[in-house]
Structure 1
Amino acid sequence: MRKTIYLGIAALVILALSAYYLSQQPGAIQRTTTPTAQTTAATTTTTTPSSVGTVEVVDALGRRVSVKVPVSRVVALGPGALRLVVYLNATDKLAGIEGIERRPPQGRDYGYILWAKNLTSLPVIGQGGPDSPVNFEAIMRVSPDVIIMSPVLANSPDQVQEETGIPVVVVSYSNAVGGVNFTTLFQSLRTLGIVLGREERAEELIRYMESLIQDLNRRTANITQRPKVYVGAISYKGGQPFESTMANFPPLVLLNTPGVADNYGIPPGAKSTGRHF
């Protein structure tokens, strides 16, 4: 029983604690020369380095975006975008933050970094939160070189790029809201690593998370008797009641353990409310 509890706790915190731990390590690596680069869903290639140039990346929505480098000023819009900037140790490039990021940091590992570095005093560039409208004027006032954006805002990335004249790079954790697909997450980290000059940091994070994933798989792959698990009160654009659940809940997937919701036709990663299990 105690072993089961320990494994459950390990899986539950892997998505945040691993990156938070690495965000505390000294020696964030900054690129001194900037190559022209292009990233795809599977590979990243670079050409001969130069001190100043342009990188072309393919973002989480498959959009090809050209960004002038080196980038010195950046803003992050929408749930999850700022978190990745913090994990990459690129907070020195932040030109502003969303209003929602000024709340106390409890429950957000990256929030403690913002408070410790007094980044909550940066100019507010919008409301923040899912489906929130983009404040074009506030963004343009802080003159970022690039906008990092999650795909769940009221405005499309193409509209934001057209209205501001600033390159927009979309990052994502999964195709399903609230889910985690590590291929998608790792590609977003690599894309941001290129844009922000943090390629080696991105690979450091990815290697560490992969080692934890492999460790959990090794511990749980051959367990024959597994508990029946229901995950309740899954948040979706805010707090939800106990009936709110999720298929393929990431910590359970990491433990090779199916959840009750997996058997009710709910698409992987999707939320469901109002069911009685």
Structure 2
Amino acid sequence: MIARLTRIATRLVAPLLALGMIATPAAAQPVTVTDLAGRTVALPGPAKRIVLAQGRQLNGLGLLHPDPISLLAGWGSDHKRQNPDAYARYAAKFPAIETLPTVGDGGTQDGFSFEKAVSLAPDLVILSQSLAGSRHGPGDLVSRFEAAGITVAVVDFYLQPLRDTVPSLRVLGKLIGREEQAEAYIRFYEERRERLASRVRGIERPSVFMHAHAGGFDCCQSPGKGTFDDFITLAGGRNIAASILPGATGQISLEQLLAADPAVYVATGGVHLARRGGLVLGLGVSPEEGARSFATLIASPGISALSAVRNGRAYGLWQLFNDTPLHIVAIEALAKWIHPERFADLDPQATLNEIQARFSAIPLDGTLWIDGTARIRP
């Protein structure tokens, strides 16, 4: 009797399967990509247990997956330390983040625990360019993971953002099975980037000084080549620190700044500067708090003497735009400040709103930039 019923069921189901009317679990398809280090990275299917060696790379992952925490086996603790405002939003929406194992700070190879990462049995470890290091250097993390039989991919949004953001998103999208989402963000990003580039070709470039972590430390830390310098260049400005500083960041004295007297002054800040009396910008920061800290900064000795401040061409920008694909919003803000007439129609807030609606796993509310017209509400 059972055998007869089985034969009948088979005769009924087989035609439906052939017509695609009954869904069957799709077999995971192998994934092969080329990462930023030029390495071929292969997985039997999309990654499900990822170790983010640098926790801050959640910034990119959270634009591609609606629940990026569900993909993580562990991560670097640098995200919570450096980006507490974003961390709070992830914790509110994805409480599992609070019990996610950490693998060290993730800022440097010395701060990263290779042993802890291996113990979590990940199917993929994601490294930044700085953590990956030289392929043949001592203590190279890529070689060590490969020797342990663990797949590694290198992506980066920090050192050369305009060069590496698109390929990094493409690599991540393929590795987690979110290729369509990655391509959608890439199209969104490239359309806005090309609009900026087409309008600044051949124009005069005003001098710009970017004061990093402004008000919280001795004046004046500034980006040299790469990172924010790329943003300034795409926005149609000339970063005065790029010709002075040999690396990605460095220190410029107040005397050097006053002598250069840039046409545009841009300070960067974050919630990490609240206790230091510096510029406070970021997710969850109110307009009043941002305006108050900005007013204090530009009234400080030395900074207040800059002609950019006197001429109303002083601005503030969230420091953490420097390591996320959200940076296209920062570049649009810079373009409006550097060339207000040429970019009068540009709306960075609308760009940010669209990213939040279409891509971001967390709310992106707060005060992420501020201009010279900001005033403290009574």
TM-score range, shorter chain: 0.5 to 0.7
- Per the alignment, residue 228 of structure 1 pairs with 207
Give the Cα–Cα distance (whole angstroms) in 2 for the partners of residues 117 and 101 of structure 1. Answer: 15
List aligned pairs for 1:62-81, cutoff 5 A: 62-78=38-54, 80-81=56-57
Give the Cα–Cα distance (whole angstroms) in 2 for the partners of residues 133 and 163 of structure 1. Answer: 20
- Per the alignment, residue 35 of structure 2 pairs with 59
1:81 is paired with a residue whose SS is helix
Query: Which amino acid counterpart does residue 184 of structure 1 have in structure 2?
Result: D
Query: Which amino acid counterpart does residue 94 of structure 2 have in structure 1?
Result: K
Does residue 1:143 correspond to 2:127, yes or no? Answer: no
List aligned pairs for 1:123-272, cutoff 5 A: 123-153=101-131, 155-173=139-157, 177=159, 179-181=160-162, 183-218=163-198, 220-221=200-201, 224=204, 226-233=205-212, 241-247=219-225, 249-264=229-244, 270-272=248-250
Q: CA shift at 1:93, angstroms? A: 0.9
Give the Cα–Cα distance (whole angstroms) in 2 for the partners of residues 158 and 219 of structure 1. Answer: 41
Asked whether the equivalents of residues 246 and 271 of structure 1 are also in contact (C-alpha less than 8 Å), the reply is: yes
List aligned pairs for 1:17-166, cutoff 5 A: 51-78=27-54, 80-89=56-65, 90-103=68-81, 105-106=83-84, 109=86, 112-118=89-95, 119-153=97-131, 155-166=139-150
Asked whether the equivalents of residues 245 and 272 of structure 1 are also in contact (C-alpha less than 8 Å), the reply is: yes
2:211 is paired with a residue whose SS is coil
Asked whether the equivalents of residues 87 and 110 of structure 1 are also in contact (C-alpha less than 8 Å), the reply is: no
State TM-score, norm by structure 1. Answer: 0.66
- Per the alignment, residue 37 of structure 1 pairs with none
Asked whether the equivalents of residues 78 and 129 of structure 1 are also in contact (C-alpha less than 8 Å), the reply is: yes
State TM-score, norm by structure 2. Answer: 0.50
| Change in 2 beyond 3 A, CA 1:137/1:245 | closer
Q: CA shift at 1:128, angstroms? A: 2.1
Give the Cα–Cα distance (whole angstroms) in 1 for the partners of residues 92 and 140 of structure 2. Answer: 30
Greater mean deviation of Cα atoms: 91-100 or 149-158: 149-158
1:152 is paired with a residue whose SS is helix
Q: CA shift at 1:218, angstroms? A: 5.0
Asked whether the equivalents of residues 49 and 122 of structure 2 are also in contact (C-alpha less than 8 Å), the reply is: yes
Q: CA shift at 1:63, angstroms? A: 1.4
Q: CA shift at 1:76, angstroms? A: 0.6
1:173 is paired with a residue whose SS is coil
Q: Alpha-carbon deviations, 1:3-45, whole Å to 9, x = none?
A: xxxxxxxxxxxxxxxxxxxxxxxxxxxxx99xxxxxxxxxxxx
2:89 is paired with a residue whose SS is helix
Give the Cα–Cα distance (whole angstroms) in 1 for the partners of residues 141 and 40 of structure 2. Answer: 12
- Looking at CA atoms only, which structure, 1 or 2, has the larger radius of gyration? 2
Q: CA shift at 1:247, angstroms? A: 3.3
| Change in 2 beyond 3 A, CA 1:148/1:243 | closer
Asked whether the equivalents of residues 53 and 68 of structure 1 are also in contact (C-alpha less than 8 Å), the reply is: yes
2:161 is paired with a residue whose SS is coil
Q: Which runs of 5+ in 2 are unaligned?
A: 1-22, 134-138, 258-378
Q: CA shift at 1:257, angstroms? A: 1.3
Q: Alpha-carbon deviations, 1:254-277, whole Å to 9, x = none?
A: 21211113444x56x733435635
Q: CA shift at 1:158, angstroms? A: 2.4
Identity of aligned residues (%): 28
Give the Cα–Cα distance (whole angstroms) in 2 for the partners of residues 194 and 256 of structure 1. Answer: 33
Q: Which has the higher contact order (CA 8 A, sep 6+)?
A: 1
Query: Which amino acid counterpart does residue 212 of structure 1 have in structure 2?
Result: R
Q: Which runs of 5+ in 1 are unaligned?
A: 1-31, 34-49
Aligned length: 219
Give the Cα–Cα distance (whole angstroms) in 2 for the partners of residues 255 and 70 of structure 1. Answer: 37
2:129 is paired with a residue whose SS is coil
RMSD over equivalenced CA pairs, Å: 3.3
| Change in 2 beyond 3 A, CA 1:115/1:159 | farther
| Change in 2 beyond 3 A, CA 1:204/1:240 | farther
Query: Which amino acid counterpart does residue 90 of structure 2 have in structure 1?
Result: I
Asked whether the equivalents of residues 74 and 93 of structure 1 are also in contact (C-alpha less than 8 Å), the reply is: yes
